[in-house]
Amino acid sequence: MVNDDIDFRASLEQTEPPKGLSLYLQALWYDAKGDWGKAHDIAQDIVNENGSWIHAYLHRKEGDGWNANYWYEKAGKSMPAKSLDDEWSDLVEVFLNK
CATH number for position 46: 1.25.40
Could you tell me the pTM of the whole model? Answer: 0.94
In the predicted model, residues of the chain with pLDDT beneath 50 are: none
pLDDT of residue 98: 76
Q: Environment class of residue 17 by beta-carbon count within 10 Å: exposed (0-12), middle (13-18) or buried (19+)? A: buried
pLDDT of residue 1: 61
- C-beta atoms surrounding 68 within 10 Å: 19
* Three-state DSSP class for residue 79: coil
Query: Using CA atoms, how far apart are residues 30 and 70, in angstroms rounded to an integer?
Result: 22
Split into its structural domains, the chain has a count of 1
Please, what is the angle between helix 49-62 and helix 65-74, to 10°? 170
pLDDT of residue 37: 98
Phi and psi, residue 67, nearest 5°? -65, -40
Q: Environment class of residue 83 by beta-carbon count within 10 Å: exposed (0-12), middle (13-18) or buried (19+)? A: exposed
Query: Using CA atoms, how far apart are residues 31 and 27, in angstroms rounded to an integer?
Result: 6
Domain span holding position 66: 5-96
